[in-house]
Amino acid sequence: MSGSFISFEGIDGAGKSTHIAALSAAFQAQGRVVTLTREPGGTALAEQLRTLVLNDAMDAMTEALLVFAARRDHIVRVIAPALARDEVVLCDRFTDATFAYQGGGRGFDWDMLAILERWVQGQGAAPVLQPELTIWFDLPPAVAAARLVSARVPDKFEAQPRAFFEQVAAAYARRCDADRARFARINAHQTPEQVWADVLAAVRQRNLLP
Ligand code: TMP
């Protein structure tokens, strides 16, 4: 696989969306073909699983299995083929979100998630597929909660209490600490212009954009 795979993470309300769209435009301006996608979702099947995960009550293991099932379909049908075509894949959330939400938020077994990660993202004898860069929009849960108050009708996760998001944020920090080379931790409690400058700097530092 020869394309570039970048994922975007953060608690709900961290403000990823506008920066993902801007980054897509920046890559396209360089003549790159961009596959803009999201998790859970990105294929017809995975979008159906997304609807279930975001709306239906279920236990943590069921939730973890459904997001990994969606991820498998997404990798096989969309991400791996796009990377093989040398495209830029910009993915709004990937496996770090599972460790953060199901592992941190729900308290589901971290080692079990690591096993699922190896199975689902393994490509035969090849190494486990991971983004080469993960941009983590780090925002204090209290600030994110204030932003979400005026937003759309909350889904199952957005409606969770503050303590849930404290655990999600701590789990993101744990994933970041375990893979510093892959993560760019960006302070999302700045003006949009400052956040964008940090996003661009992270991408340029890895020579993904001039
Ligand atoms: P979004 O609203 O940013 O598209 O994310 C959908 C929600 O799904 C968000 O609250 C995080 C949650 N989620 C999980 O719980 N586990 C996962 O593996 C992923 C990718 C998302």
- 67 Cα nearest atom in ligand 1: 18
Of all protein residues, the one whose alpha carbon is nearest to atom 1 of ligand 1 is 12
- Each residue's pLDDT expressed in tens, for the chain with a length of 210 residues: 689 999 999 998 888 999 999 999 999 999 999 999 999 999 999 999 999 999 999 999 999 999 999 999 999 999 999 999 999 999 999 999 999 999 999 999 999 999 999 999 996 666 899 999 999 999 999 998 888 877 678 889 989 999 999 999 999 999 999 999 999 999 999 999 999 999 999 999 999 999
CATH code for the domain defined by 4-205: 3.40.50.300
CA 210–ligand 1 middle distance (angstroms): 31
Is the CB of 40 within 6 Å of ligand 1? yes
pLDDT at residue 30, rounded to an integer:
96
pLDDT at residue 147, rounded to an integer:
84
pLDDT at residue 18, rounded to an integer:
93
pLDDT at residue 124, rounded to an integer:
62
What is the identity of the amino acid at 182? R
Q: What is the pTM assigned to this prediction?
A: 0.96
Q: Which of 63, 74, 75, 93 to mutate to test the pocket of ligand 1 (most atoms within 8 A of CB)?
A: 93
pLDDT at residue 117, rounded to an integer:
96
Is the CB of 12 within 6 Å of ligand 1? yes
> Using a CB cutoff of 8 Å and minimum separation of 24, what contacts does 126-129 make?
129/1, 129/5, 129/75, 129/79, 129/80
Of all protein residues, the one whose alpha carbon is nearest to atom 17 of ligand 1 is 98
Is the CB of 98 within 6 Å of ligand 1? yes
Of all protein residues, the one whose alpha carbon is nearest to atom 3 of ligand 1 is 12
Give the C-alpha separation, 9 to 16, whole Å: 7
- 38 Cα nearest atom in ligand 1: 4
Q: Which of 53, 66, 148, 175 to mutate to test the pocket of ligand 1 (most atoms within 8 A of CB)?
A: 53
Give the C-alpha separation, 29 to 62, whole Å: 41
Of all protein residues, the one whose alpha carbon is nearest to atom 2 of ligand 1 is 12
pLDDT at residue 12, rounded to an integer:
87
Q: How many other β-carbons are positioned within 10 Å of the β-carbon of residue 7? A: 25
Give the C-alpha separation, 202 to 193, whole Å: 14
pLDDT at residue 1, rounded to an integer:
61
Buried/exposed 77-116: b ≥16 CB within 10 Å, e otherwise: ebbbebbeeebbbbbbbbbbbbbbbbbbbbebeeeebeeb
